[in-house]
Structure 1
Amino acid sequence: MRISTNQFHSQGINSIQKHQENLLDIQVKLSTGKRVNKASDDPVAAGQIHSMNRTMNTIDQYARNGEFAKTQLVLEETAIDDTTNSLQRARELGIQMINGTYNPSNRQATAQEIGQIINQVRNMMNYRTSEGESLFAGNDVDKQPYVVDGGTYDDTTTVPVETTGGFYSYIGNLPVADPDYSPTANFGSRFLQIGFDSDNKLSSDDSGDASRVRVSDNGSDVFNIPGGATSLTKYDDGAGNPPDSNILNVLVEMKKQLDAGEPVSLEVVEDITSSITQLSQVRAEIGGRQNRIENQYEAGENFKLALAERKSNLEDQDAVTGISEFTRNQSALQMAQQIFSKVQDLSLFNYIR
């Protein structure tokens, strides 16, 4: 078989180039600290690394969602705490004003303080975030939850019948014909995803679903008196309906009694007590949601740590192994260069000479 000088030359050049490529490849791995820098380095590992990066990015997004959710829940908790403190003061005044030793002037003076409490409670029930979204409007975060009830209510315990107004209604409890009526305020609320789906279903109640957390609430569930406000049952709109059974209307009724110089009724104090209990339960439920956010965050971080360890095993370059491979490839390149220089001298002319 005849082997030409050009063939010797070509094989030598190819050998040198291959060793140079190997040396450059290990240099890149050592400089980046990664064994897989491109898909061709290890196609299977590259696919797994891409999948883990995507999962870790999703976990980071869930963590950011959780931080935002905690901020919203802190605002809601603050509004409820402020309302509870105001109601505690109203309850104290109500217990005092039940006593018949106070004269009408004392009661009318107390009514002024109750008026201030009404303003404070109304502001909390209509609380908006810095983005202008209502905390207690259910699914209609762009609406004001509590508005003045346009209906008229007759006090059926007075003779003659006294027409009384000034009550407030939750927008989801208004008559359908009312321009402020909002049916979607009665269901749903804002949810944030804080973990991987367990069933990929979304309902208006996040109870038991650890992957989502509710960051707004239905005001009617928060501020209405459980079982109805007994102090408001004496009012009638002509169709047998009393005013909305929310705590704000109970305070309005309390102020009406005091403005008239009358003692506060026991029903008013009982309704305020029931509302305080209800708000405490809501606050505890909010605390439960905050705990779920923390638990999901910790679970996500633990999962991300396991993924990072697996990713490191697939992707990272072992320094000792890399240096050994670099030295071996460097030696191989030097040998190839030396052999090539010797082959260059294998010429018939050099032999004759």
Structure 2
Amino acid sequence: MRVSMLNLYSNNLQSLQQSTVDISKLNQMMASGKSILRPSDDPIGSVKVINSQRDMAATNQYINNTESLSTSFGRAETYMSSMVELQNRMREISVAANNGSLSPEDRAAYAAEMSELLEAFADTVNAKDEGGNYLFSGNLTDTAPIAKDASGNYVYQGDTNHREVQTSGSSWMTANSTAAEFIFANGSADILNQTKDFIAVLEDPTLAPGDPLFSQTATDMLTSLDDTLTSISSAITDIGGKQNTLSLIQTAHEERVLFNEEVIGETEGLDYAQATAEFNLKLTTLKVTQQTFVQVSQLSLFNHI
């Protein structure tokens, strides 16, 4: 009789403890919205969730890279477009100033405006991003790409290196253009020093259109403008193509993130209706078990006499 009563007592206590554990687990699941609280709940599902989370983290990093790269390209394109606008005005002045009917004062006025355009152009080439890094100096982002040497000539101070940014698991994209490429790598003289020389000719009252030095400098100016405009336009076109590619890559990454979110949701997401029904059932079972346990714990040998 003692053995039977002890077994009955132990079974009820064990059932009571198990129901309490089950209800606690269901509470955690409903609070977190997850059906897998620990790997042992579903080893295969847990591995699938971990793999999806890892892939999603990498993909989100690629999305951040493409967004940052797109912003950088947009900023560079804006400054390059400003360079084109400045050079368009330089061309207008170069053509207008090569007119024999102008007075020395007229040419001096054009020289003054050209000086302002040259200064604005150099400042634009020395543009920085929001972090204070120079955009067009290669990897020497803390060094202004354009400066003047002891002789007053414009020189390039950056390097010709390019930064590569990873945009997917298997692809990288060049992130920057250098002033060395679109200003100092043309067949003609660079636009900065050529403009400086043309200004000097315009300011010289002894020189006028028709003089060999004036004519040659004016011709060289237009040639330099053509070459530089071609280089900068090519850089802008390249940026446009990269922006289109980034847009496609980012769309693909965003779809991949959504896919991983769906996999994770389907694998560990909780069916609240089913969980609620199970919770109510477990709660009822716990109440019954508690009542039974109370009754069993009060039994003794004298109750059976």
TM-score where L is the length of structure 2: 0.87
Task: Report the Cα distance in structure 1 between the residues aligned to 2:29 and 2:130, rounded to whole angstroms.
Answer: 49
The letter of the residue matching 1:218 is: T
- Deviation, structure 1 residue 278: 1.7
Q: Deviations over 1:167-195 (max 9, x none)?
A: 212236xxxxxxxxxxxx1222x3433x3
Contact 2:125 2:136 in 1 (8 A): yes
RMSD: 2.4
Alignment of 1:187 with 2:147, yes or no, is no
Match of 2:253 in 1: 300
Number of matched pairs: 296
Listed as ranges, the gaps of 5+ residues in structure 2 are 210-214
- Deviation, structure 1 residue 218: 1.8
Greater alpha carbon shift after TM alignment, 34-43 vs 76-85: 34-43
Match of 1:222 in 2: 182
Match of 2:144 in 1: 144
Equivalent of 2:194 in 250, 259, 263: 250
For 1:1-353, list aligned pairs within 5 A.
3-150=3-150, 166-171=152-157, 185-188=159-162, 190-193=163-166, 195-198=167-170, 209=171, 211-214=172-175, 216-224=176-184, 226=186, 228-229=187-188, 245-260=189-204, 261-263=207-209, 264=215, 265-341=218-294, 343-344=296-297, 347-352=300-305
Match of 2:212 in 1: none
Identical aligned pairs, as a percentage?
27
Task: Report the Cα distance in structure 1 between the residues aligned to 2:57 and 2:169, rounded to whole angstroms.
Answer: 16
1:186 aligned counterpart, secondary structure: coil
Task: Report the Cα distance in structure 1 between the residues aligned to 2:286 and 2:80, rounded to whole angstroms.
Answer: 75
- Deviation, structure 1 residue 298: 1.5
1:224 aligned counterpart, secondary structure: coil
Contact 1:98 1:266 in 2 (8 A): no
1:192 aligned counterpart, secondary structure: strand
2:31 aligned counterpart, secondary structure: helix
Q: Deviations over 1:235-255 (max 9, x none)?
A: xxxxxxxxxx32111211221
- Deviation, structure 1 residue 339: 4.1
- Deviation, structure 1 residue 342: 5.2
Contact 2:194 2:220 in 1 (8 A): no
Q: Deviations over 1:117-166 (max 9, x none)?
A: 1111111122223432111111111112122244xxxxxxxxxxxxxx53
The letter of the residue matching 1:49 is: V
1:133 aligned counterpart, secondary structure: coil
Task: Report the Cα distance in structure 2 between the residues aligned to 1:129 and 1:32, rounded to whole angstroms.
Answer: 42
Listed as ranges, the gaps of 5+ residues in structure 1 are 151-164, 173-184, 199-208, 230-244
- Deviation, structure 1 residue 351: 1.7
- Deviation, structure 1 residue 52: 2.4
Contact 2:145 2:156 in 1 (8 A): yes
Greater alpha carbon shift after TM alignment, 256-265 vs 300-309: 256-265
Task: Report the Cα distance in structure 2 between the residues aligned to 1:316 and 1:17, rounded to whole angstroms.
Answer: 27
TM-score where L is the length of structure 1: 0.76
- Deviation, structure 1 residue 49: 2.1
